[in-house]
Structure 1
């Protein structure tokens, strides 16, 4: 474990961005002496004995002369890879779970002045599409190939053993980073990754599908689908690091990521000013947890008290005023799954309004720090020649459920939220204590004017915000573009703008054809026709097809959960059901006349519908879409190749930190023992021996005030503390916790196995207690397994992290050989639920 350390000014907003690297503006401090930057850039050394430096393309014939001695020889050097003079920088900014109607420039009342500025100085696209889910879309953004071609039918945790869904993005589908690094670009990735198989993100690797294995030269961010904004699981290049500050010291992930992005750029531009960069910045905001300093959320006090329907009406009117949607657009209906705001009790309205205030503050906060990056580029004189593309990876998220949550871990463990508990959290929503997500009434409002949301292929799930800013390459300013486009079109557009041909091979691997098409021709021609005529969509068996202005959609299980009499969760598509859907489940929309998909023409235009259905199957065959898989949690539990087989005994050593849940020992709902071999000095010791999770749920074994404690944090609803009745001995000894199940789990109702816990010092029983309920499915959203300290949010309120153990730990052994109380099916389901949050 390597811990990142650096000093931070009190406010990152006002610092000189060039100082984030520690490099002097006027030169480089090398060996204690200041060397002028111009001297460092000098390539001619007249006293070296050579009249001229001769270079040649790598891989070609050596053009110099080789004699028997140096006097009879003439040197020549393989030329370094240098980008074409004047090549633009490229910046991708990827927002998470941001709906079509949530940015200011798309009609939202949420203040996003910096994103608006990019739209005003560039082009705002109103017909961009994604896949409806994060990892699949991100794979399209970076490769220019469809998500099934990238084996990304789902997030990596939901991979299945088929070519279009195994979660292993083929190396023949090169990333833009791999293409540009071969053209002399510096390449940086910052923020959310979520493109590596979940089984491969631990310290055991392999690392070839981490960012540095896919063409990025530097990386700082988190590898999974979400993380706490205050206690993130951070990776720097190929090693795990800790945040540079604590929440109490003002830490938040977004400014940290932007600081790092600025530093990466500054490092390169100060040393090689002519070298262009490609920066992929994916902050992870606006994904849950919706966390932001209170003053940002407070800016929106009272702004959403009139509810989600009122929000939709106001945004819809503003969108027409801005020209974001055609004047003939009809606002989609009130969603049957969403409560009537006017019928809600006052307490619920108060809670839901505050949840939206926090989300709005979170988005404005994100915009502010994007603005810092843009200001930095402008200060450096690089903004005009930086091709910026900003996109959301899918529509707004409904994963908060119908009522929202102050601890999303309850949802993933089937534990119902309690309104009174949620109301008690009002003053602290957005802070480090809660892992909150708004109610899906705000989801449907956030996708105005469209219906539905993330995970579904109606336009609410796949039509997303997108803008392009490049003053040097785009003449119009503040224009709107209506051409159909898809995330797979970003790579070919960049390559055309840079005048670069797609490479035939990358690192010896022959490359597949890029499947997207460039829209660069629309930059300076608003009337240009789209070159993207046909595009399929599929997510969790929810299907759609676009062709020449028409769209056919086959929703599964139906237009809403209420109408389909289904729940948000496990849905099974059988062969009989598929035949029924293909016969009468498809809907047809003419987008020219009906952009928001409100008038289903399936009955009146049957021939057109049959043509569209057939076209969907043609595309499905071409891009490895089949088999259709509607499963939610069940698919996440499918067996997958592992580095090692499951075992009865797991041994961890001091320094082990944040082992991801999918590769950590699984102790839920089964008998187990945790044994820590330690050396306690004569004056005693305290601190964490082993912990897993955070303040959203988990367990921790620790010593405090001389007593041994085991705390089980049941999804932050209750802490069960088993403490020793006497102080632990000093010297070398084994401290042990044993869990004996006394009943069966009730997974459907959010209750894990009850049991009896016992504490031992060597073989002496020193404490015991009952655990009436335990976490059923997911340890926690707050962190992985760690030994010797609690690095993130505290698993227990009985200590303040990191609460490092002050004695010596030799090893911690976890034995799970006791007979499990879970069936194999239940264990699969538990593993599946752990993956649900990684979207």
Structure 2
């Protein structure tokens, strides 16, 4: 018996009589894609420089990305915004980052339309555009597109992945996470990793498994239904972590240093046709140390940090290969449009010397060369949150100058690959047409034969601001259609127009030349006038792609036109006001879900409370009180907050009550009960009373007197000479009944669940603070900034 179908919302074409025998049925047509509609896969790498892809000349082995280039197209002139969340908003909406309210990451949002951190619903996501055309939509990996105050279990959920058109989600909502102990969300709820590091767990492998399973679940039921997969690894963002055998492949490969790396990669880029034979390598950066001027120990440490990064990247490439292999073996790869992009240039968040624990930097605790050397054989493992130094950042962006957060091409020029054998006849070719991440959505829509929607879920849509690159797929000589593109990040400005590029660096061309570090100089109206008069540079990037020949003096009329054009674009896309404050903007007040309070009540069997909404206990008198019931032999974590990079934990072990304060991974301070707690119901309490003032400049939080109480009786006391000054550990919020994530103390292994019963835990911060509240906010801002 055949079915009669009709478009939903139109007149019912069947017949309705008084009985079923006198009636003819008809059904609303299910949402089906057109026959042979291609799948779409975005593969989004994090903090990966132009000169770090193997197919862009790097010595790092990336065979699976290379095969996409060999069987597809490699673009040499693709651009991003210089920062994570802004770029991701562009590639998913087809609109500029200020149009998306994403001038910065959401933690740095300000109360202006171009920077409020809430992507407007009139700027639909590609997932929302494809759903009505019969596509399944999956998001796997890093998100970082929800306002920071809205990523807890309290929601709201309308700007989580499932609220923006994705039907399934598995990954992490923030800017970065531990590769061995990640903060995971499945659809709309937190989950624990399926394995431990001891069992061989690694996040990128887990994400790949989940992506494959999402697709397999779909195809076994509806083999013709196409899908859109947004696959965003946490790699290659810090921490640089991968199983040791991957880094071991690169032993000694970087001993000649970052200066030699740049020369070697640049020569290879010329051989590959990525840059012209007469192109010039950008000069040595003033902020980067000369490799031959470093000590032997520094060279040994920094070379090892790069070996670990290279292993991390190759490991990531291997997981990408597993996804590609699955698509190929299941007969789907040829008709899948795969687009590979990095969200910005290589990251300078490791500072001039690199770090084995970024949380030291956020707390003004200096990295110590001897301590770092002691950790050299453990780099890449779960014990350290490591990042390489500036020299490798600069080298990673070869051949361009500068890096992420800045709008020289080192921050905004990125690798871009397109692979679609069923739709593109060209293979292994290079494309030089100008592009920007806002062009990805219109390229997909044109390739699929889909018009941009006029409305999404009843919301009238804004115009797509990018232009399609589809005309370049089979025509290497096709002209660029993207003629003008503005850039702005932390008041660092530039604009491209038809082969020319004007740049206005801020605070200067380098930190050394400006005499001030990132975000420490607020742009005033007076300074802006000065910059517009004398601070712009001009480059003919069509012949000088690395921005080495400043033509501002020779081409003054053109420069004036370019500056005026920047302001025209800024007005069109909500770029103003300019905000150079860097991490200081993170201290701005923002709308909160809950009103301020000094008493927090937490319960077991609940989700981890993210750091940005958890109780703030640093540098102030506070107490932690738990109502528990114990049987003989019960043990485990009662409550904890943080990770192995810093935090605190209250737990029972060997019958005794213990409290450990992990001072930024450098030292543990503890207090323990003198006698076992005993069976039955008890009130367990930890109290901290400051005995001095913090010294934030030196990385020291308030010293204090710590005491433990059981049922109101003091059972243990200790003096802590120093505490965490500014920011509790990266990765891992506050949780009751277990240590989610990496273990806060070396005394146990995560999750060390509490085997007794916890009724509730109350954290009180009612006493006056000893901390400088503004400095505390700035520290939280520094962490947020590094997690993008």
Q: TM-score range by the shorter chain?
A: over 0.9
> How do 1:165-564 and structure 2 match up within 5 A?
165-564=115-514
Please say if residues 679 and 732 of structure 1, whose CA atoms lie closer than 8 Å, have aligned partners that are also in contact.
Answer: yes
Structure 2 residue aligned with 1:622: 572
1:79 aligns with 2:29: yes
CA displacement, residues 49-79 of structure 1 (integer Å, 9 cap, x when unaligned): xx42111111111111222221222111111
CA distance in 1, matches of 2:775, 2:398: 39
The equivalent of 1:767 in structure 2 is: 716
**Deviation (angstroms), 1:684:** 4.2
SS at match of 2:714: strand
Contact residue 56 and residue 76 of structure 1 kept, 8 A: yes
Q: Distance in 2 between matches of 1:592 and 1:632?
A: 31
Distance 2:304 2:774 in 1: 39
Q: Displacement of 1:749 after TM fit?
A: 2.4
Q: CA deviation at 1:730?
A: 2.6
Decide whether the 8 Å contact of 1:657 with 1:784 is kept in 2.
no
Correspondence 1:152 to 2:102: yes
Deviation at 1:658, TM superposition (A): 2.3
Q: How far off is 1:569 after superposition?
A: 4.6
Specify the alignment match of 1:742 in structure 2.
Answer: 691
Compute the displacement of 1:830 (Å).
3.4
How much does 1:746 deviate?
2.0
Q: How many residues align?
A: 788
Preserved contact between residue 777 and residue 833 of structure 1 (Cα < 8 Å): no
State the 1:630 CA deviation: 0.6
Separation in 2, partners of 1:295, 1:831: 35
Secondary structure, aligned partner of 1:271 = coil
Asked whether 1:584 is paired with 2:537, we answer: no
Give the alignment of 1:638-653 within 5 angstroms: 638-653=588-603
Secondary structure of residue in 1 paired with 2:554 = coil
1:6 alignment partner in structure 2: none
* CA displacement 1:657-684 (0-9 Å, x = unmatched): 4211011111111111000000122x24
Q: 2:530 & 2:369 partners in 1: Cα distance?
A: 40
- 1:161 and 2:111 are equivalent in the alignment: yes
Aligned residue number for residue 788 of structure 1:
737
2:586 maps to which of 633, 636, 650: 636
Please say if residues 407 and 505 of structure 2, whose CA atoms lie closer than 8 Å, have aligned partners that are also in contact. yes
**Secondary structure class of the residue paired with 1:285:** coil
SS of the counterpart of 1:803? coil
Q: 776-785 or 437-446: which moved more?
A: 776-785
Say if 1:459 and 1:596, in contact at 8 Å, map to a contact too: yes
The residue number in structure 2 matching 1:715 is 664
1:117-154 CA-to-partner distances (Å, cap 9, x unmatched) read 00000000000000000000000010000000000000
DSSP 3-state at the match of 1:140: helix
How many angstroms does 1:592 deviate by?
A: 1.8
Q: Contact 1:412–1:837 (CA<8 Å) still a contact in 2? A: no
CA distance in 2, matches of 1:137, 1:191: 15
- Structure 2: how far apart are the matches of 1:175 and 1:238? 18
Deviation at 1:703, TM superposition (A): 1.0
Q: 1:44: which partner in 2?
A: none
Which secondary structure does the structure 2 equivalent of 1:118 belong to? helix
Deviation above 4 Å: which 4+ runs of structure 1? Answer: none
Distance 1:784 1:657 in 2: 10
Distance in 2 (CA, whole Å) between partners of 1:770 and 1:66 is 84
- 1:664 aligns with 614
- Asked whether the 8 Å contact 2:518–2:582 carries over to 1, the reply is no
Aligned-partner Cα distance in 2 for 1:836–1:267: 37
Contact persistence 1:234–1:240 (CA under 8 A): yes
1:583 alignment partner, SS class: helix
- Partners of 1:643 and 1:782 in 2: CA distance: 22
1:68 is aligned to 18
Distance 2:506 2:594 in 1: 37
- Aligned partner of 1:21 in structure 2 is none
How big is the shift at 1:755? 1.2
Unpaired segments ≥5 residues, structure 1: 1-50
Q: What is the aligned partner in structure 2 of residue 831 from structure 1?
A: 780
Distance (Å, rounded) in 2 between the aligned partners of 1:167 and 1:789: 33
Aligned to 1:677: 627
Residue 702 (structure 1) aligned with residue 702 (structure 2): no
- Helix, strand or coil at the partner of 1:593: coil
Q: CA deviation at 1:303?
A: 0.3
The structural deviation recorded for 1:701 is: 0.7
- Partners in 1 of 2:704 and 2:62 — Cα distance? 51
CA distance in 2, matches of 1:387, 1:643: 40
Distance 1:184 1:656 in 2: 36
Is the partner of 1:662 in helix, strand or coil? helix
The 2-side partners of 1:744 and 1:537 are apart by 43
Cα drift, residue 421 of structure 1: 0.3
Cα distance in structure 2, aligned partners of 1:280 and 1:530: 26
CA RMSD in angstroms, aligned pairs only: 0.9
1:685 CA displacement: 2.2
In structure 1, C-alpha distance between the alignment counterparts of 2:165 and 2:7, rounded to whole Å? 21
After superposition, what is the alpha-carbon deviation per residue over 1:205-228, rounded to whole angstroms, capped at 9, x for unaligned? Answer: 111111011000011000000000
2:362–2:779: 8 Å Cα contact kept in structure 1? no
CA distance, structure 1, for counterparts of residue 779 and residue 768 of structure 2: 17
2: CA distance between counterparts of 1:637 and 1:350?
38
SS in structure 2 at match of 1:709: strand
Note the alpha carbon deviations across 1:332-378, whole angstroms, 9 max, x for none.
Answer: 01100000110100000000000000000000011011011111111
In 2, Cα distance between equivalents of 1:428 and 1:213: 40
Distance (Å, rounded) in 2 between the aligned partners of 1:569 and 1:341: 27
The answer to whether the 8 Å contact 2:51/2:265 transfers is: yes
After TM superposition, the structure 1 = structure 2 runs for residues 47-62 of structure 1, keeping only pairs within 5 Å, are 51-62=1-12
CA contact (8 A) 2:126 2:441 kept: yes
1:317 is paired with a residue of what secondary structure?
A: helix
For the Cα contact (< 8 Å) 2:153–2:607, is it kept in 1? no
Q: Which residue is 1:572 aligned to?
A: 522
Deviation, structure 1 residue 638: 1.0
> Bigger shift: 693-702 or 825-834?
825-834
Report if the CA contact (8 A) 2:726-2:775 is conserved.
no
Contact 1:155 1:838 in 2 (8 A): no
2:79 is matched with which residue?
129
**What SS is found at the alignment partner of 1:309?**
helix
What whole-Å deviation, never above 9, does each CA across 1:472-495 have from its counterpart, x for those lacking one?
Answer: 111110010000000000000000
Alignment partners' CA distance in 1, 2:120 and 2:549: 40
- Contact 2:75 2:431 (C-alpha < 8 Å) held by counterparts: yes
For residues 255 and 705 of structure 2, the distance between their equivalents in structure 1, rounded to whole angstroms, comes to 47
* Deviation of the 1:823 alpha carbon: 3.5
Gaps spanning 5+ residues in structure 2: where? Answer: none
Deviation at 1:767, TM superposition (A): 0.8
Aligned counterparts of 2:373 and 2:58: Cα–Cα separation in 1: 27
Q: Is the 8 A contact 2:110 2:116 kept in 1?
A: yes
Task: Please state whether the residue corresponding to 1:220 is helix, strand or coil.
Answer: strand
What residue is the counterpart of 1:140 in the other structure?
Answer: 90
Q: Give the TM-score of the pair, scaled to structure 2.
A: 0.99
